[in-house]
Amino acid sequence: MKQQAWHVLPWLDVTKILDVHPGKGLSLREVNRRLAEIGQNVLSEKKGVHPVFLFLGQFKDFMVMVLLAATIVSGLLGEIADAVTIMAILIINAILGFVQEYRAERSMESLRSLTAPEARVMREGIESRIPAAELVPGDIVILEAGDRIPADMRFIQAVNLEVEESALTGESHPVGKTMAPLMDELMPMADRRNMGYMGTVVVNGRGAGVIVSTGMDTEMGVIAGMIQSVEDEETPLQKRLAQLGKWLVILSIAVCIVVVVTGVLRGEGFYKMFFAGVSLAVAAIPEGLPAIVTVALAIGVQRMVQRQAIIRKLPAVETLGCATVICSDKTGTLTQNEMTVRQIYTGGKFVTVSGQGYDPKGEFRGADPTQEREPLRETLRISALCNNSTLTKKGVRVAGLFRSNAAQEAPWGIDGDPTEGALLVAAAKAGIWREVLERKEERLDEIPFDSDRKRMSVIYKGKQGKRAFVKGAPDTVLKLCRRELTANGVAELTSERRREILQANDKMARMALRVLAMAEKPLDERTALALHNVENDLIFVGLAGMIDPPRASARKAIQVCRQAGIKAVMITGDHRLTAEAVAGELGILRDRHAGVLTGAELDQMSDEELTEQVMDVSVYARVTPKDKLRIVRAFKKRGQVVAMTGDGVNDAPAVKEADIGVSMGKTGTDVTKEASAMVLGDDNFATIVAAVEEGRAIYDNIRKFIRYLLSCNLGEVLTMFLATLVGLPLPLLPIQILWVNLVTDGLPAMALGVEGAEPDIMDRPPRAPGERIFARGLARKIGIRGTLIGLGTLTVFVAALFLGVNMLVARTMAFSTLVFSQLFHVFDCKSEERGIFEVGLLSNPFLVIAVSISTLMQLCAIYLPPMQAVFKTAPLVGWQWGIVLAVAGGPSFLIGFVRLLKNAWSGKTAGAKA
């Protein structure tokens, strides 16, 4: 059907356009015709990749293809164990990648499950239930509390109808619905109070609507389309590793060619040199790197689970560690998602409501809540009595009295409207419970709230007779008042007092409080309970202002994020005043009126203008899902690494578009969880701080084992390359080179992945998004240490020959020097700033165990006769071990001593771990 601004049309005109009788509905013949023309009311699914091809696609990566070639080479060399090891690593990585991508494909399935499975529909004058997929534009759907709206509709009936739309619009409380047409054609979706949207839930009242859009034409369908349109892209870590793999392959091939050609020109046999060259190629490429990266990230995942963060995609840990911007939804993420009364204005004074009760040091003086008809008490009495919600413990309605400790310790809950629940809590803090009051007073009648009157009234009968209690919009209720309750009794409500009350209302509204007025009226026994008799000549009692308060933990988390150089941004569907107040309390917004944009203002800006201003804005209010996508994309255009937190369906496209999406585990919808890379199990914004810290620590650890692996591999290559250049016999046999790879590249490198975070990790600014893997001096450290390892190994080999030992012993000494140089070096790699004397050699037990196992394996290769035959080794004696260990460990102890002096001079050792 043609898209129109349905909310501006009278509902009768909508039914005429859609050619349907509002009382009878469509005919079955017309339904079938429209169903054939428009299609079912379902969300279409983007054509996915077959699981088989999805699995095979894991082997397309350049690094993986090189490792496949290395597997073939190892098999040709007779190293079946090495070939099997490499292939096992590739298969494990492929399975992990397949599972990650397959789960991402389920995002659309979760979105479809959120839609209503059935709907009550009027067709040919008969009411019936049908599958929601069979709805067509023009169908008349009947709704009551608890129903999920099955498609977008224009309401044609609304009786006290309220709809929970927070998952779609970001509104933190149910929205009252009406049938009346609205004036603004460009009105934001959240303000279209005569419209209902697919996936939202009716929480109060009843109504009916005519379907105007189905399937992918609904607002939820538009979101589904945006989710499909968001393309996946590589994380910074994946990009760096891809660059590293290509660089290593090119370099290793070049070196191997030089070694082979040089050896052949010197008269060595071609087969022998080719064999040595291929061995060097295998040694030069750290085939364990992808697996070690995966293990390091998996360890990070386990740590995150312990801190209430569930990682769905392994690279997410690393990506969050380099995040420069965190975009967060307000409701339930930065706030508690619980309406709370903050201030009460009564008797001409303000009363501050704290978490524990009423502040005795506040502005209000002389208030005694126990005194009958005292203004504050009466305000709270009306809050409790003119109310249909209930406080619960463990789901059981209570009246403030408990007979067991277990009941007293159970968590509180609210059964009913959140706003009314906030009023009940405010009254309960003063010891006023509706259930207790109703033991002495009986409710006779109720005039329900509706969006036209903007108020609710109840009538109670007690010892003092009948009395009406009214609550509603301040301007509406105040117009009906003629008198006011003061500390001295009931007095005339003068014009001056009316202005003061309205000023108090404005003051609370500027604080982003949602304000309700309380009034009452004594009724004569003969008074008929009708609107014109009850809701007039009222006595004004007080105002109650409430807000969804910020989380205390979120305030601290944002402070830590600022300290860590991360920009926190609030993106919400709520009103500007509310967003400004919450952002101000949290510390996101330093200046209440600076750095704030609304959805309407965003609509007037081009993408280029938004990109130019995005770094200066910290709060976005009244936004749509499309706006959220634009904001995230604008940050990314500015070179930022963006994290987006969210819980509702409306957040899903932006969550998926962000470099890392973070969803809420408790309140988050399934579609948002599936689109996200990380789920917060406790819905606590503070958990993101832990994620940032863990992400930074994991990236540091990845740099540590890259430093270790490449230094060791460089040492191996230089040993062979320099020996060939100067005309020496080969100091290592090809089988020995492969053994060194196996002994030193596996367990010690993996053990580096469980290193704890550096003490100052959250005092650093985020690393630059475009930072290369070898930045901050890593390439220099790798080059220097790799050269020392290569020269040391070659020096021991030459010295052994000079001292008159045979070639077998000389090669064994060089072989052992190369292995133990790397095992000493792994302790250097525990920190980029501190040396071997500062890092604490026993602080990482996994590393100690890994080095011990590698040492044992090397000793077996030297002293066990069967392995001596395979690796061409000979037992070493004491003085030979002295030379080996001195050369292997000397650089580590020397560099460690220099760093100790340097850090002691600069005072850095104060925070070092022993």
Distance separating alpha carbons of residues 74 and 83, to the nearest angstrom: 5
Write the single-letter amino acid at 199. Answer: G
The helix or strand, by DSSP H or E, that contains position 658, with its residue range, turns out to be: none
Which residues sit opposite 539 in a β-bridge? 483, 520
| 868 close to 874: Cβ distance less than 8 angstroms | yes
Which residue is listed with tokens 């050699």?
Answer: 841
The helix or strand, by DSSP H or E, that contains position 33, with its residue range, turns out to be: helix 28-38
* Residue 39 CA, distance from chain mean position: 35
| 858 close to 869: Cβ distance less than 8 angstroms | no
Please choose, from the candidates 790, 767, 533, 526, the residue with its C-alpha nearest in 3D space to the C-alpha of residue 639: 767
| 476 close to 455: Cβ distance less than 8 angstroms | yes
Distance separating alpha carbons of residues 316 and 677, to the nearest angstrom: 6
Q: Strand ranges (DSSP E) for 306-365?
A: 309-311, 325-328, 340-346, 349-352
Q: How many CB atoms neighbour CB 265 within 10 A?
A: 9
Q: Where are the alpha helices (DSSP H) in 217-371?
A: 219-229, 236-265, 270-284, 289-306, 315-321
Which residue is listed with tokens 């969300």?
Answer: 43
Tell me the three-class secondary structure of 861-886, residue by residue.
HHHCHHHHHHHCCCCCCHHHHHHHHH
- In degrees rounded to 5, what are phi and psi of residue 37? -80, -40
In the chain, DSSP finds a helix count (H) and a strand count (E) of 34, 27
Just list the catalytic residues: 329
Which residue is listed with tokens 């994620």?
Answer: 691
Among left, alpha and beta (phi > 0; psi -120 to 50; other), residue 308 is left
At 772 the three-state DSSP class reads: coil
Residue 796 in tokens? 């021991």
Residue 727 in tokens? 């005309």
- In degrees rounded to 5, what are phi and psi of residue 842? -100, 5
Please choose, from the candidates 733, 742, 752, 735, the residue with its C-alpha nearest in 3D space to the C-alpha of residue 713: 742
Cα torsion at 575, 577, 583, 589 (round to 10°)? 120
Distances (CA, A) of 111 to 106, 120, 137, 225: 9, 21, 21, 11
Q: How many CB atoms neighbour CB 232 within 10 A?
A: 9
Residue 821 in tokens? 């140089």
Distances (CA, A) of 129 to 73, 279, 296, 563, 859: 67, 72, 53, 57, 78
- The CA-based diameter of the chain, rounded to the nearest angstrom, is 125
| 259 close to 277: Cβ distance less than 8 angstroms | yes
Strands 538-547 and 489-492: unpaired
Strands 325-328 and 642-646: parallel
DSSP string over 480-525 = TEEEEEETTEEEE--HHHHHHHHHHHHHHHHTT-EEEEEEEEEE-T
Which residue is listed with tokens 């109070």?
Answer: 193
- In degrees rounded to 5, what are phi and psi of residue 195? -120, 150
Strand order in the sheet with 678-680: 309-311, 678-680, 660-664, 642-646, 325-328, 567-571, 619-621, 596-598
Tell me the three-class secondary structure of 315-330, residue by residue.
HHHHHHHCCCEEEECC
